[in-house]
Structure 1
Amino acid sequence: MAEAIAEAKKAEGRTRPNPLVGCVIVRDGEVVARGYHARAGEAHGEVAALRALDGSAEGCEAYVNLEPCCHHGRTPPCTEALINAGIRRVYVGTLDPFPEVSGKGIEALRRAGVEVVSGVLEDESRRLNQPYFKRITTGLPWVAVKYAMTLDGKIASSTGDSAWISSEASRRRVHELRNVHDAIMVGTGTLLHDNPRLTCRIDGGRDPVRVVLDATLSAPLDANVFDPALSDARTIAVVGPHAPDERRRALAERGVTFLEVAVDAAGKLDLRQVLRGLADRELPSVFVEGGSQLLGSLFDQKLVDRVYAFVSPKVVGGQNAPSAVAGEGVEAMKDALELERLSIEVVDGRDVFITGDVPASFRADIETTPAASRPVTAEEA
């Protein structure tokens, strides 16, 4: 199963809104074929592995990290492919939460006489597809936030200078993270201060969909993120109901699309509506590179799932120098958010790179449209 998961990871960031699926075919204890789902509309992992097999699959075993699909969508059911190929036993990592499949794929295999063993490396299989699981079950995307800070917790000096806190090797790692997320999101402050391109600048990389939170469309029309010559990725401007029509038209001419959401009394965008709208646009994972205000709001509203933090061995000091996370925060240390499943790495002998997941108690229980009653898109099928 570990090899099936490794196969699935080869398409990380490429399959939206579909899950990552890898499959390994085994004959007499030896791997004879492997495959993975490369992108939506193409062969699923099971079919890709069967196509790669030299000879018959009769009597072989299949290992797949996600329950095989059993419905007709853009591709035929994988259960039929496995049955028709003569696979005698299927090892499944975890059930598929998608209502058209959940449990039904395993049932279809068993009805056809195929032995099924489920729950193999289940935790690893579920973690592999956390964005897919969250979007299907809650109607919200998986939200990962990233920031780089000094040893004393600052993201800039008191004058606002922040170039550069982290090393070149750490900044390359950020581009690798952009490559595997479906969308990248920033607020107006970051756009005005840094004028970022929000692209992925590594060999073989893919630019994520760029999402700009700008309630009143105050950002310059010639900002890099709005320049179609810099990337073929979509740019979505998230606006409030009173964003000027003339600025909308000007950006629309540059290929920018819009997501309109409600604003509060202070004119701030409703972040829950923002994320729900992005999930509806088939963006299962969102990588946030915003400033301290945006990160603070996301943490305060319990909308963060994962944290990527780069800590540089620099000290800048300054009472007015901004910290990584603003917002309301907590009053007592006992109420502080403590990350789970930590990964700590020293990047190129310099920066400390910390990755961790936000525990369930710090994630909002948001009422959304149940997955079973939401319309099924062609790509989900």
Structure 2
Amino acid sequence: MRASDEQHMAQALALARRGLGLTWPNPAVGAVVVSPEGEIIGRGWTAPGGRPHAEAIALEEAGEAARGATIYVTLEPCAHEGRGPACADVIAEAQPARLVIALRDPDPRTSGAGISRATAAGIEVTEGLLASEALDIVLGHVYRVTQGRPAVTLKTAVGANGFVTRGDGAPVWITGPDARAHGHLLRARSDAILVGRGTVAADDPSLTCRLPGMSCRSPVRVVLDGRLRTPPSARLFEDEMVPVWLICADDEDQPNAERLQERGAEIIPIPVDAEGLPCVVEALERLAGRGITRVLVEGGPSVARVFLDADLIDEAVIYQGAEAVGGDGLLPFAGEGLDRLTDSGHFTNSHTRSFGADRMTVWRRNRRCSPALSAT
């Protein structure tokens, strides 16, 4: 390992983050090509839609200068062909002297094979550099491959007293504009945003990314709506460019399905749970099957409680405003407070940030990578 390796891998990780929310069904990957003299001669990150891959973009920029160079990649180069040649073969052809990888890809089509092809081409391979940081970026891809579901981030906003507001047909703000803007950044970095039909009824949200110049990064809007009672007049349908997927029960007659489809909604019937509601485990499996790797859950207390009870929350982002919510407020987990998550012992407070008088805390599930995912 060289002294500059960590610095260059950190640059590759920063590039990978640019693709979050844009690259599904492929993971967001970053790559940096560095000459023997230490000059960066190529950079790339996975293009929107998943192709071309980061390695191909970086090596094309480097051109002939890539021969004898070092390429830093945040995820093991793929070893299977899709809409283009396998990245492992592209790297072998470019003939860099070294390949430095943060994390091995658990996808069985690649796992270890990308490294083997580089080694067979005479390229020195180092893996495991900043693996934990890389895993945070591609966790949804890892879960989709190994568990058949996307990664789940729960987002909620509470008042100073820990209660959420009760909607009355339009959004009610607990936090200020800076905290809300950060929440929209979470949307931009997600493949899909999920709420329950109750949130649509209470707030009539658009669920798009409204940061200046970033409306194109709005995620797929997903609504858990067992009996398809979402009104065709909902604001969800005003932006026809952003998909709306309605997940409903598959054992119900759905008389509103045709009207909602006419408004642009895609209907996804799934089995129901013991309470007769769409099963969230099945819902995540269906989303993963459609290529979704990162889901932002913004539903109300009932949806938050269902995901917490099912042990499906990988990260929780909690915004807390400076003022208390009034007497009609609701507990964030349908009858239970934040301590149901924060004091459970299953989550660790990874960091805290202030937005003026508002505070954001991020809680991450305590997890351990399986041996199959650990760098060797």
TM-score by length of 2: 0.89
Q: Say whether residues 1:321 and 2:332 are aligned partners.
A: no
| SS state at 2:228 partner | coil
Question: CA distance change for structure 1 residues 159 and 323 in 2, over 3 Å: closer, same or farther?
Answer: farther
The change in CA–CA distance for 1:233 and 1:197 in structure 2 (over 3 A counts) is same
Task: Indicate the RMSD between aligned Cα atoms, in angstroms.
Answer: 2.5
2:214 is equivalent to residue 204 of structure 1: yes
Preserved contact between residue 99 and residue 125 of structure 2 (Cα < 8 Å): yes
Change (3 A) 1:198 1:162: closer
Corresponding residue number in structure 1 for 2:4: none
Give, in angstroms, the shift of residue 241 of structure 1: 2.4
Is the Cα contact below 8 Å between 2:164 and 2:325 reproduced in 1? no
Q: Does 2:227 match 1:216?
A: yes
- Tell me the residue number matched to 1:188: 197
Q: Does 1:359 align with 2:359?
A: no
Secondary structure at 2:174 match in 1: coil
2:353 is the alignment partner of 1:342: no
Equivalent in 58, 63, 66 of residue 49 of structure 1: 58
In the TM superposition, 1:144-163 aligns within 5 A as 144-156=153-165, 163=172
Distance 2:341 2:72 in 1: 45
CA 147–139 in structure 1, closer or farther in 2 if over 3 Å, else same: same
Say if 1:160 and 1:321, in contact at 8 Å, map to a contact too. no
TM-score (norm 1): 0.88
Pick closer, same or farther for the CA change 1:96–1:158 going to 2, 3 Å: closer
Distance 1:333 1:47, change over 3 A: closer
Does 2:5 align with 1:14? Answer: no
Matched letter for residue 7 of structure 1: L
1:247-292 Cα offsets, whole Å, 9 max, x none, are 1111111221111122235322211111111111111111111110
Question: What CA distance in whole angstroms lies between the structure 2 residues aligned with 1:253 and 1:160?
Answer: 23
In 2, Cα distance between equivalents of 1:70 and 1:242? 42
Tell me, in whole angstroms, the C-alpha distance in 2 between the residues paired with 1:175 and 1:330: 22
Q: Secondary structure at the match of 1:129?
A: helix
Equivalent-residue separation in structure 2 for 1:330 and 1:344 (angstroms): 15
Does structure 1 retain, via aligned residues, the 8 Å contact 2:24–2:50?
A: no
In structure 1, the residue corresponding to 2:141 is in which secondary structure? helix
Aligned to 1:367: none
2:261 counterpart (252, 257, 262): 252
2:6 corresponds to which residue?
none
Give matches, 1:102-141, under 5 Å.
102-141=111-150
Shift of 1:75: 1.5
Counterpart contact for 2:26–2:50, Cα < 8 Å: no
Q: What 5-or-longer segments of structure 1 have no aligned partner? A: 362-381
Query: Which range moved further: 31-40 or 8-17?
Result: 31-40
Paired amino acid for 2:156: Y
The alignment covers a number of residue pairs equal to 358
Cα distance in 1 between the residues matched to 2:170 and 2:243 = 29
Q: Secondary structure at the match of 1:94?
A: coil
Q: In 1, Cα distance between the equivalents of 2:188 and 2:92? A: 36
Q: 1:231 to 1:299 in 2, by over 3 A?
A: same
User: Residue 342 of structure 1 aligns to which amino acid in structure 2?
Assistant: S
Alignment CA distance shift 1:54-1:70 (3 Å):
closer
Mapping of 1:300-315 within 5 angstroms?
300-315=309-324
> CA separation of 1:260/1:149 partners in 2, compared to 1, >3 Å: closer, same or farther?
same
Alpha-carbon distance in 2 for matches of 1:316, 1:339: 25
> What SS is found at the alignment partner of 1:74?
coil
Deviation per CA, 1:301-324, whole angstroms, max 9, x where unpaired? 111111011001112353x53111
Q: Which residue of 1 aligns with 2:293?
A: 284
Q: Which stretches in structure 2 are left out of the alignment for 5+ residues?
A: 1-8, 369-376
Aligned match of 1:85: 94
Q: Which deviates the most, 351-360 or 336-345?
A: 336-345
Out of 245, 266, 275, the position equivalent to 1:266 is 275
Would the alpha carbon gap of residues 200 and 260 (structure 1) be closer, same or farther in structure 2, given more than 3 Å must change?
A: same
